[in-house]
Amino acid sequence: MAIDLKDLLGEYLLEVNPNNESNEPYRQVPTSDLDNKVVAIYFSAHWCGPCQHLTPILAKHYKEVQS
């Protein structure tokens, strides 16, 4: 069963603005840009011990996958 990300996340998302000429650090992108892509959503809390351990590990693997 596929989840409609627009229903879950809203019509637009914020993305780090890749345009270094702009003073805006983020830009709005339509949620539909995620159609037919794999999406992982991770929530954590600063007070959660296991989250404090897992978040840096996930960030490291994310960077490896992106390169």
Domain boundaries, given as residue ranges, for the chain? 5-66
Rounded Cα gap, residues 18 and 35, in angstroms: 20
Rounded Cα gap, residues 14 and 18, in angstroms: 12
Per-residue confidence (pLDDT) for residue 21, from 0 to 100: 66
pTM (whole model) above 0.85: no
What would the two tokens of residue 27 be?
A: 């830009």
- In order along its 67 residues, the chain shows pLDDT tens digits of 667 888 888 999 888 877 666 678 888 889 998 888 888 888 889 899 998 999 999 989 988 988 7
